[in-house]
Structure 1
């Protein structure tokens, strides 16, 4: 590959990255902020916001007019398609990470495309400024690695957020089961328990509260309880919640006491959380051995061996 062809490819990549950056920034620059409408909030609305009504924590907030939705709409109006061939699989992965909006897949495709073009452009500019490009082959390899990093970085971030979300839901589920047990023993039905518990844990466990809110909304819409619980287990991606859904459905079919079933399952979940904490505690000595060996052992060898080395040097000299 000649130097001219490499230069043309690099210039084309830089031009594409600049065009996408301009398309992304233009809507926000052209938008005017109406301060008068923002400052003209009535006292009633402010009081409702302070009580957690309009702007406070709720079971499910509707963020209409989101900046991402406007940005995606502007990009698609300019003829750029943000569709993906594996949109269904990608939507499930994003939902497990907590991105459940209708535009989540298109936003992911937009971010991935921008990073795939922006990383090689930034790498080329860095090499151009520092003068570290020794040969066209080295430049080509750096650009390929930068493009691959921009392509796979969003997937790594989504996977990490999905794992953190699962862990947060799993850690908060025993508390929710305890609250459900209290509600059932107080006389509430299992359907009303989801709405009540979701309202109580919205600040402590917001992701779990969102799952309970979804179940409550589906039950109010007339969906069967078994289907609503299966959808909750699917949205969470946690095996323990799938077992909980099966427990509630089987208890309902067999006519068993739901309170006793919740009490036993809550105790098992709490025991499982304690065992996971103990497992992490037992892993600490193994994890601490690495920095101890890397940093402490050379220091000890130097302290113990340096006097002998000095004495040998004086004896020889």
Structure 2
């Protein structure tokens, strides 16, 4: 049995067939999962509302001991992180900012992130050793195999960072696409006489189906406006959590309106138009880049099929005539 498994793992054709099957399954899942995904907006909005109430309770209690906004991380992860002092070694202000931009707030996600950065290099290194020395049976020197295993382990150290960067990118794409519509809704709410907090809360409820991350950020901003001593800090936190220039521009306009009493409607109208123009420019840029990207697929996949369809009957007739 073991010999059969080892023979399959070292068989090139079997590995190619397995990878092809995995690629097909991944393609099917990537197409089918968005259709089967449940609407988690209501649960996320409820969680944000609960967090807001807890924030208020914590402010009333003056940050008393025992007050906690979030669940505690796993005990063994926390022991490893605190025992090895990974927080002091790996965490800086940029790391905390990127975790907030990815939507991971609180101590539990940070502990999981640090634990993953500590454990994944050893796991990747061990798997690479097993594959290079026992399963793969590569005819390479010992130093080459060991070096390749070390490189795989080093890649495992950066996998959590790449994952967080991917989450940030997806959140920013979602927020950037829905931000002009959100600005239009905020403008309508403000010009109808609503306060900024009420406008944010109303827009978060309306924009949630289009962009759940944006709805979550607006609800968190509403919660911070209700308990932070300075409203400016709540607006700046919104800009830091999103990391988008368009959001930073609107935040600057809101801060100036709060400080100097300038009309907020005119500034929001200009910002909304600029955001729409920017979104249209990005769409036009992608459309302009589409023909060059389609050139290689057309040469590799469409033209051979087209030539086969056109020249196939003629070749068949020539073969029959010669016979």
Match of 2:93 in 1: 88
Match of 2:183 in 1: 177
Gaps of 5+ in 1: 1-51, 312-317
In the alignment, the residues of structure 1 paired with residue 308 and residue 186 of structure 2 have an alpha-carbon distance, to the nearest angstrom, of 61
The answer to whether the 8 A contact 1:57-1:203 is kept is no
What are the Cα deviations for residues 82-121 of structure 1, in whole angstroms up to 9, with x where unaligned?
A: 3234432211122222222223333212112221011121
Distance 1:184 1:56, change over 3 A: closer
In the alignment, the residues of structure 1 paired with residue 160 and residue 113 of structure 2 have an alpha-carbon distance, to the nearest angstrom, of 8
In the alignment, the residues of structure 2 paired with residue 141 and residue 273 of structure 1 have an alpha-carbon distance, to the nearest angstrom, of 46
**By how many angstroms is 1:249 displaced?**
2.3
Match of 1:236 in 2: 242
The answer to whether the 8 A contact 2:70-2:106 is kept is no
Match of 1:9 in 2: none
Aligned residue among 96, 104, 108 for 2:113: 108
The answer to whether the 8 A contact 1:181-1:259 is kept is yes
Match of 1:186 in 2: 192
In the alignment, the residues of structure 2 paired with residue 129 and residue 172 of structure 1 have an alpha-carbon distance, to the nearest angstrom, of 49
Distance 1:187 1:168, change over 3 A: same
Match of 1:262 in 2: 268
The answer to whether the 8 A contact 1:60-1:210 is kept is no
In the alignment, the residues of structure 1 paired with residue 203 and residue 307 of structure 2 have an alpha-carbon distance, to the nearest angstrom, of 59
In the alignment, the residues of structure 1 paired with residue 187 and residue 255 of structure 2 have an alpha-carbon distance, to the nearest angstrom, of 16
**How many residue pairs were aligned?**
257
Equivalent residue runs for 1:161-176 within 5 Å = 161-176=167-182
Distance 1:193 1:299, change over 3 A: closer
The answer to whether the 8 A contact 2:253-2:267 is kept is yes
What are the Cα deviations for residues 195-217 of structure 1, in whole angstroms up to 9, with x where unaligned?
A: 33223333432211222122212
In the alignment, the residues of structure 2 paired with residue 239 and residue 189 of structure 1 have an alpha-carbon distance, to the nearest angstrom, of 24
Distance 1:60 1:132, change over 3 A: farther
> TM-score w.r.t. structure 2 length?
0.68
Match of 2:283 in 1: 277
The answer to whether the 8 A contact 1:119-1:146 is kept is yes
What are the Cα deviations for residues 129-174 of structure 1, in whole angstroms up to 9, with x where unaligned?
A: 2322532122112212211221222222222221221121111111
> TM-score w.r.t. structure 1 length?
0.69
The answer to whether the 8 A contact 2:239-2:251 is kept is yes
Aligned residue among 33, 38, 48 for 1:59: 48
Match of 1:216 in 2: 222
In the alignment, the residues of structure 1 paired with residue 137 and residue 92 of structure 2 have an alpha-carbon distance, to the nearest angstrom, of 41
- Structure 2 residue matching 1:103: 3-state secondary structure: helix
**By how many angstroms is 1:55 displaced?**
7.8
Match of 2:294 in 1: 288
In the alignment, the residues of structure 2 paired with residue 58 and residue 90 of structure 1 have an alpha-carbon distance, to the nearest angstrom, of 24
